[in-house]
Amino acid sequence: MLFYKNNSAFKNPGIFNKMIMLISFLLLLSFLFSLIFLQYVYRIYDRQIYEKASEVLGMSSVSIENELKELEQLSFTVVADEQIQNCLRQLLDNPSPYERQVLHNRIINRLVAFAGAEKYVYSMILMDANDGVMTAGNREWLSETLQDQLRPLAIAGAGSNIWYTQGSKNSLLAVRQIKSYTGSTFTLDNLGTLVIRIRVERIIDDSTSIAGDGGQLIVVDKGTGRSVYPGEPLLLPGELAGEVQRPEAYRTVGYSKGTYFVAKTNSSYMDWTYINATPFNEMFRQITFVKRLVVIIFGCILLLGLLLGYRLARSIVRPVSKLTEKMRRIEKGDLDNLEEQALGFVSQTAQDEVSQLNRTFQMMIRRIRELIDENYAKQLVIRETELKALQAQINPHFLYNTLESINWLAKVNKQKQISDMVEALGFLLRSSIGLKDPLISLEKELSIVRSYVIIQRTRFEERLDFRLDVPDGLLDALVPKLTLQPLVENAIRYALEPNIEPCVISISISRTEDGLDLRVSDNGPGMTADFIRGLEQGRIQTRGEGIGLANIAERIQIVFGQEWGTEIESRPGEGTTIHVHIPYVRGEYRHVQTASGR
């Protein structure tokens, strides 16, 4: 029996237990939220550390790559040198040993002149077409195996510079094929191969500003996973290869030589990855201590909150228990007289907590009944609206599938004109029905216009001369959907249809001081000034059934403001130009106010 009571109390806790559980839940939720927030703050701090390291890495990589670009230009200057070109062409004619030695000396003197002025050049090696090798600078020789690797590599580059990182440690080779040219005559005969050995360690030392706390900049070749610089990096070869493959831009990781904060960035010029490895120094240990201290403090606050919540629950449960007893007397009843059955007489003057709770409960029941009645009436209206919406719906997929079937049938029967027209019609319908945003890119709007023109050219053939003058830099501008196509349609209706002569319809777009000017022009009969005023004031009704000029102007003003809109420029016999003035807004549509700049 005692077990049954305890089990029942556990399954149906009283208000006191519920309050304790609620307070405990809220405190735990606050505790978890605080931990998540602190973790977020710590991530922001880690992100700032990474951004600092990334900024330094970026500046260093840019400086290094600028030096490499200058050395690449140097290799071009050497292979294009007129004296070297002349000597190499003479070597192709199989000169005598003495003449060959003279030519080699001239080439070496030119190489020395080039290499002597460059502090980052270790040596220059020139291999002629007859396997002769000339060296300037440091006399370190190229092995025959390496020469055999470099010659086809240079030929594959077809005269462009090739960076070769498989040379000796801490060295980089710039390899370029030497092709023959004289003045303005380019025979492009193979004259030989130029190899420049670069002092990559000196370039990196001069360009790097990373210092302090044992940090190290490591340059890794992504293709091989080997360290280009330094010769003995903090990370082992396997650790470097794994770090290059990981997607994280920064992280704290333990390696064989210790724990490091690793930040990396990829080169935009070379197939390299720059890695900054910083030891996990005292600053990070202090941050970890602060994290643990905060967790302990929050744990103490949680325990204190539970104790205060227990006392608060006891102070509330006693006056509420009487109200609970009254509520237990209710077994059944509708909402109309629920408060009277539940509460009986409710004092309107007493200010104690129980009386206020009774009055509040009574008002709540009354308000709920009103809301139910109101919600029932709204549901009836919603049901009726949904029914009307369902009745008015069109399934565009049936129409698309039908057009695809017609297109397939036209292609089977080799009716290309019908196929192109059906494809254009399908794209036009999808664009008109499927685009939900009121603003689309100018490129999409022009695609709709082109599809419409394809359809109309099937009808008018050579009578329709459509021209487009839109700078590529404006194609990402945002315009209201279906702005230009209705204007082209009006031009066809009022300028092309009444005449038998060819009609030129053009779209041109240009920047203005404060926005864009979209112009749709035709060489039709034009309009008088009185007719234009009547059209703008709504006194003259056109015979069109599509999207009118007033509709376009109204949509532009809704999206961008009253200062934007349309303008008609026309004279009898001189054609008509419709100007559409909108602000120059680029990017993706997010909100009307954002797009309009207000």
Per-residue exposure over 253-292, b if at least 16 CB sit within 10 Å of its own CB, e if not: bebeeeebbbbbbebeebebbbbbbbbbeeebeeeeeeee
Mean pLDDT across 560-585: 89
Assess whether the previous peptide bond of 438 is cis (omega < 30° from 0). no
Tally helices (H) and strands (E) across the chain.
17, 17
DSSP state, residue 80: T
| Cα 341 to Cα 439: distance, rounded to the nearest angstrom | 59
Residue 405 has pLDDT above 70, yes or no: no
Q: Given this model, what pLDDT does residue 547 score?
A: 58
Residue 203 has pLDDT above 90, yes or no: no
Mean pLDDT across 200-216: 69
- Report the run of H or E that residue 218 belongs to, with start and end: strand 216-221
* pLDDT tens-place string over residues 246-262: 777 777 777 777 777 77
Q: Given this model, what pLDDT does residue 139 score?
A: 64
Place of tokens 């397939």: 408
* pLDDT tens-place string over residues 535-562: 776 666 665 544 578 888 888 888 888 8
Residue 443 CA to chain centroid, in angstroms? 18
Residue 332 has pLDDT above 90, yes or no: no
| Cα 122 to Cα 199: distance, rounded to the nearest angstrom | 6
Q: Given this model, what pLDDT does residue 517 score?
A: 92
Mean pLDDT across 309-336: 62
Residue 509 has pLDDT above 90, yes or no: yes
Grouping H, G, I as helix, E, B as strand and the rest as coil, residue 351 is: coil
Max Cα distance, the chain (Å): 130
Q: Given this model, what pLDDT does residue 183 score?
A: 62
Q: Which of 144, 136, 147 is nearest to 81 (CA)?
A: 136
Q: Which of 157-171, 187-201, 407-421, 562-576 has the highest mean pLDDT?
A: 562-576
Q: Which of 485, 431, 493 is nearest to 460 (CA)?
A: 493
Q: Which of 235-249, 337-351, 443-457 has the highest mean pLDDT?
A: 443-457
* Contacts within 8 Å (CB) and 24+ apart, 381-384: none
Say if CB 170 and CB 200 are below 8 A apart.
yes
DSSP state, residue 494: I
Grouping H, G, I as helix, E, B as strand and the rest as coil, residue 575 is: coil
Model confidence band, residue 391 (pLDDT cutoffs 50, 70, 90): very low
User: 163, exposed or middle or buried, with CB in 10 Å at 0-12, 13-18, 19+?
Assistant: middle
Q: Given this model, what pLDDT does residue 494 score?
A: 86
| Cα 182 to Cα 416: distance, rounded to the nearest angstrom | 52
Q: Given this model, what pLDDT does residue 2 score?
A: 43
Q: How far apart are the first and last CA of the chain?
A: 73
User: 346, exposed or middle or buried, with CB in 10 Å at 0-12, 13-18, 19+?
Assistant: middle
Say if CB 365 and CB 377 are below 8 A apart.
no
Mean pLDDT across 281-293: 68
Instruction: Name which residue leads in pLDDT, 18 or 2.
Output: 18
* Contacts within 8 Å (CB) and 24+ apart, 182-191: 182/85, 188/159, 189/92, 190/129, 190/155, 191/85, 191/88, 191/89, 191/92, 191/128, 191/129
Mean pLDDT across 492-517: 88
Report the DSSP pairing between strands 503-511 and 464-469.
parallel
172-181, 292-301, 424-433: which range is least confident on average?
424-433
160 is written with which tokens? 């462009």
